[in-house]
Structure 1
Amino acid sequence: NYYKGESPIYNAQVWVTQGALEGSNINISNEMVNMITTMRSFETNQKVVQTIDET
């Protein structure tokens, strides 16, 4: 085994909060709009390639 681990770095300013709820760091509605936009763009490009193949 060539891996040699280093000693862990301990941080005294880190704590764990019991019973806390972790929130998401994204906006779900914005991401849904982005996904639909990407899907439509993909479909448009797919139709362009299909049209080129037919000619």
Structure 2
Amino acid sequence: MACPMCGGTGRVLVRYPGGEEWMACLECLEREAEEAWEDEDEVERLLESGELF
């Protein structure tokens, strides 16, 4: 089974605490983690500036 994001074969299985499983290659997982981190930083900036809520 190939990575669902890029079609690559170098993939890993990630198991979440709720039992959900997700499979992707390391490059795609790293990219998703970086994007999530950037989104978290943006939300924090909006909260601190008062633009959010």
| TM-score normalized with structure 2 length | 0.51
Question: What is the aligned-residue RMSD (CA, Å)?
Answer: 2.2
Aligned pairs for 1:14-53 within 5 A? 24-25=12-13, 26-52=24-50
Distance 2:35 2:29 in 1: 10
Percent of residue pairs bearing the same amino acid type: 0
Q: Deviations over 1:4-54 (max 9, x none)?
A: xxxxxxxxxxxxxxxxxxx734300000000000000000000000001xx
Larger Rg belongs to: 1
* Paired positions, count: 31
| TM-score normalized with structure 1 length | 0.49
**Consecutive aligned runs of 4 or more in structure 1 exceeding 2 Å deviation:** 23-26
Aligned pairs for 1:2-21 within 5 A? none
Task: For structure 1, list consecutive stretches of 5 or more residues without a partner in the other structure.
Answer: 1-22
Q: Which has the higher contact order (CA 8 A, sep 6+)?
A: 2
Flag the structure with higher strand content: 2
Other-structure match for 1:4: none
